[in-house]
């Protein structure tokens, strides 16, 4: 055995001696990697690198835990996940709450990692090593600049002014301590990148999922709208938030000078630039469509089908061939009676804000409304919310005898047995369900928006192909409306706002002044529900105390048989049942929501503060 080992060692040594005569032996490139120098001399490899920067979008907003559950849109059903750390205002620099590295949220380190990638691409493409055939260098550079702007805009809307890194840092730098830039400097940096991106991408034909000129212009409109809002106007912000009034480095978070009217004018002009170049879906109507058409129109827009795809200026797409979490919204949010997880359940606060069909407010003190709260509501309610008695998909074959009609059951009802005696039937979509009693909604509602209604899409096992709208045309319209209102141009604002309403069958708004502004804000709340707008809108309007500070609430529903009526297998039927609806606060043991002014900005994590001695923490956090 020893002789064999000795022979193998000698043989290996001889092979090295022989190979050493070949000068290429130690200079071969690895077969599983590509060197950086190769990437930037090859257009295809450079494009692959830029494509990788899009991974910072994550699943869009289609995560199991949605940003909606940190707002007055929804509540997260399952324990943990850091959701209540935020909603109960317990967030601090050591525990920033819901902030998973795989989520596209306020994760400082993750966002900067993609900014570094964008910086590398921008640096290399600014002095390209391959020809600009077909404008490929311009296109890739435009995409990289947009992506850098997007990730900085995400940082800015959570943290305020941030360190502006505009080049890829290398090993051996003199220092890596970078101070935060002012709010104004941060916004100017983002806008400059977006202007460059729009110019470079102008006229370029882009594949679905890649940015384009319109997306750059639309993001510019969003950034300028945020910048002009109350939260970032120095005098307004300091007058309305105790933590901001005494903050010595207020320029990190607000404009401390300048003309606010000019900021609104810039926001309006940026939005109008998009409206002049695109058309969205079903704009230009002069009167409301029918209620049924309105429901279908909003579903088409949400599912990006049958014209709704025209709403998308930039989206995160999903295909069944690549089974990603973003294609599992039905599973994540659907009813437990369909073997789904009920993750982000709508709260009554949102449901109550859907108007009646005639444009009046829903009111529990109105006996007609209170006795039938799901009748004659805004079409978007039916396209967005699954409520008690709503018609939905056929249940699993094993469960169809319990519910042959496929109706949502979130109440408690009387049924009769074979002898005619009354029994209690717990709804199949409640937490007392006979199908699953652990994944039910606490609120009595489920999200319908973004969930494919096709019965063939079995949510437990099939991924759906509904794209996440990163930026859609109607957001830009709403941004234009808001800027117009702030500038006193009410007629222009209503002309556009009513077009949004007409396509869902709602009547024109006729209000003015403060009432019109409130109508606009509610319209934005309803139209953009679950699209990651509310979390930011409430903060920039500085109305968080009266919105996010409210306890989430639920609906309790009981159905009792009318005299002389019997039914052995429950179904929703007002001819057979008397229904009683009661709004109740959610159990404080589940979630006890609160608001503190420090929550207007997120804390920079303690680890980041320790890494960078030049950082200044946001007010209210240590």
pLDDT over 90 (residue 137): yes
Question: For residue 497, what are its two tokens?
Answer: 């706002």
pLDDT grade for 176, boundaries at 50, 70 and 90: very high
| Domain boundaries defined on the chain | 36-243, 343-465+553-585
pLDDT band per the 50, 70, 90 thresholds, residue 2: very low
Residue-averaged pLDDT of the chain: 93
Q: How much is the average pLDDT of 440-452?
A: 97
Q: Residue 12 pLDDT more than 80? A: no
DSSP code for 407: B
Q: What is the CA radius of gyration of the chain?
A: 28
What's the token pair of residue 453?
Answer: 């209604």
Q: Is the pLDDT of residue 10 over 50?
A: no
Structure tokens given for 174: 């003199």
Residues 16-61 pLDDT 10s: 334 444 455 555 666 667 777 789 999 999 999 999 999 999 999 9
The answer, yes or no, to whether residue 174 has pLDDT greater than 80, is: yes
Q: What is the pLDDT of residue 105?
A: 72
Residue 100 confidence class, pLDDT cut points 50, 70, 90: low
What average pLDDT score do residues 68-92 get?
A: 94
pLDDT grade for 462, boundaries at 50, 70 and 90: confident
Mean pLDDT of 271-276: 98
The predicted pLDDT at position 3 comes to 38
- For residues 348 and 555, the answer to whether their CB atoms sit within 8 Å is yes
Residue 14, Cβ density class (10 Å: 0-12 exposed, 13-18 middle, ≥19 buried): exposed
Higher pLDDT, 456 or 568: 568
The pLDDT assigned to 33 comes to 73
What's residue 484's pLDDT? 98
pLDDT tens digits, residue range 386-432? 999 999 999 999 999 999 999 999 999 999 999 999 999 999 999 99
Q: What percent of the chain has pLDDT over 90?
A: 88
| Strand order across the 422-426 sheet | 422-426, 412-416, 553-561, 577-585
Given this model, what pLDDT does residue 35 score? 77
The model's pLDDT over 144-164, given as tens digits with 9 standing for 90+, comes to: 999 999 999 999 999 999 999
User: How confident is the model at residue 16, as a pLDDT?
Assistant: 36
Please write the tens of the pLDDT for every residue from 320-347: 888 899 999 999 999 999 999 999 999 9
- Residue 8's contacts (CB-CB under 8 Å, 6 or more residues apart) are none
Please tell me the predicted confidence (pLDDT) of residue 321: 87
pLDDT tens digits, 361-375: 999 999 999 999 999
* pLDDT grade for 7, boundaries at 50, 70 and 90: very low
- Across residues 245-272, what is the average pLDDT? 97
Q: pLDDT-based confidence at 459, cuts 50/70/90?
A: low
Residue among 621, 268, 568, 592 nearest 413 (CA): 568
The CATH number that domain 36-243 falls under is 1.25.40.390
**509 Cβ partners below 8 Å, 6+ apart?**
359, 494, 497, 498, 501, 516, 519, 523
pLDDT tens for 465-518 read 999 999 999 999 999 999 999 999 999 999 999 999 999 999 999 999 999 999
Q: Which residues of 315-334 are buried (b: 16+ CB within 10 A; e: fewer)?
A: bbbbeeeeeebbbbbbbbbb
Nearest to 87 by CA among 552, 594, 601, 604: 594
HSE-up (13 A, CA, CB side) for residue 522: 21
What is the tens place of the pLDDT at every residue in 181-206? 999 999 999 999 999 999 999 999 99
Residue 504 CB: number of other CB atoms within 10 A? Answer: 24
* H or E, element range at 577: strand 577-585
Instruction: Assess whether pLDDT exceeds 70 at residue 4.
Output: no
pLDDT of 101: 54
pLDDT at 404: 97
């Amino acid at each position: 055995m020893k002789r064999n080992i000795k022979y193998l060692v000698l043989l290996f040594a001889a092979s090295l001696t022989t190979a050493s005569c070949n000068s290429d032996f130690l200079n071969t490139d690895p077969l599983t990697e590509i060197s950086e120098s190769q990437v930037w001399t090859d257009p295809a490899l450079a494009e692959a690198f830029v494509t990788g920067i899009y991974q910072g979008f994550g699943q869009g907003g289609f995560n199991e835990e949605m940003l909606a559950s940190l707002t007055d849109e929804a509540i997260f059903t399952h324990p943990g996940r850091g959701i209540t750390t935020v909603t109960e205002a317990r967030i601090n620099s050591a525990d920033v709450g819901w902030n998973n590295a795989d989520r596209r949220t306020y994760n400082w380190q993750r966002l900067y990692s993609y900014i570094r990638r964008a910086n590398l691409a921008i640096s290399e493409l600014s002095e390209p090593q391959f020809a600009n055939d077909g404008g490929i260098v311009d296109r890739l550079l435009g995409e990289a600049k947009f992506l850098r702007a997007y990730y900085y805009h995400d940082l800015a809307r959570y943290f305020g002014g941030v360190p502006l890194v505009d080049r890829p840092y290398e090993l051996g730098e003199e220092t890596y301590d970078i101070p935060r830039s002012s709010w104004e400097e941060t916004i100017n940096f983002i806008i400059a990148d977006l202007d460059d991106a729009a110019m470079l991408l102008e006229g370029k034909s882009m594949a679905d999922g890649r940015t384009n000129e319109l997306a750059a212009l639309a993001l510019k409109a969003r950034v300028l709208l945020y910048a002009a809002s109350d939260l970032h106007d120095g005098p307004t912000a300091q007058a309305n938030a105790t933590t901001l009034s005494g903050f010595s480095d207020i320029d990190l978070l607000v404009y401390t000078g300048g003309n606010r009217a000019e900021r609104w004018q810039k926001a309006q002009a940026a939005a109008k630039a998009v409206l002049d170049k695109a058309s969205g879906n079903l704009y230009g109507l002069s009167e409301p469509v029918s209620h049924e058409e309105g429901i279908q129109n909003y579903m088409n827009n949400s599912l990006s089908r049958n014209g709704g795809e025209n709403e998308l200026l930039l989206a995160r797409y999903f295909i069944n061939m690549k089974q990603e979490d973003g294609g599992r919204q039905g599973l994540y949010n659907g009813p437990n009676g369909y073997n789904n997880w009920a993750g982000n359940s709508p709260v009554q606060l949102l449901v109550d804000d859907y108007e009646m069909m005639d444009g009046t407010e829903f009111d529990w003190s109105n006996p007609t409304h209170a006795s039938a709260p799901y009748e004659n509501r805004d079409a978007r309610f039916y396209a967005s919310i699954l409520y008690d008695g709503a018609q939905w998909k056929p249940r699993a074959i094993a469960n169809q005898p319990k519910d042959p009609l496929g109706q949502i059951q979130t109440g408690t009802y009387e049924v009769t047995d074979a002898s005619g005696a009354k029994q209690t039937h717990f709804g199949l979509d409640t937490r007392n369900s006979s199908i699953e009693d652990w994944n039910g909604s606490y609120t009595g509602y489920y999200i319908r928006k973004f969930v494919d209604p096709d019965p063939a899409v079995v949510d437990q096992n099939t991924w759906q192909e509904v794209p996440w709208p990163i930026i859609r045309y109607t957001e830009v319209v709403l941004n234009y409306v808001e800027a117009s209102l702030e500038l006193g141009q009410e007629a222009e604002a209503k002309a556009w706002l009513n077009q949004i309403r007409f396509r869902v069958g709602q009547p024109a708004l006729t209000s003015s002044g403060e009432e019109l502004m409130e109508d606009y804000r509610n319209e934005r709340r309803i139209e953009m529900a679950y699209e990651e707008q509310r979390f930011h809108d409430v903060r920039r309007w500085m109305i968080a105390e009266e919105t996010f500070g409210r306890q989430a609430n639920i609906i309790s529903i009981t159905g009792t048989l009318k005299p002389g009526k019997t039914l052995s297998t429950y179904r929703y039927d007002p001819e057979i049942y008397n229904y009683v609806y009661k709004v109740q606060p959610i159990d404080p043991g589940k979630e006890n929501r609160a608001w503190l002014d420090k929550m207007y900005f997120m804390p920079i994590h303690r680890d980041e503060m320790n890494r960078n001695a030049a950082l200044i923490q946001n007010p209210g956090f240590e």
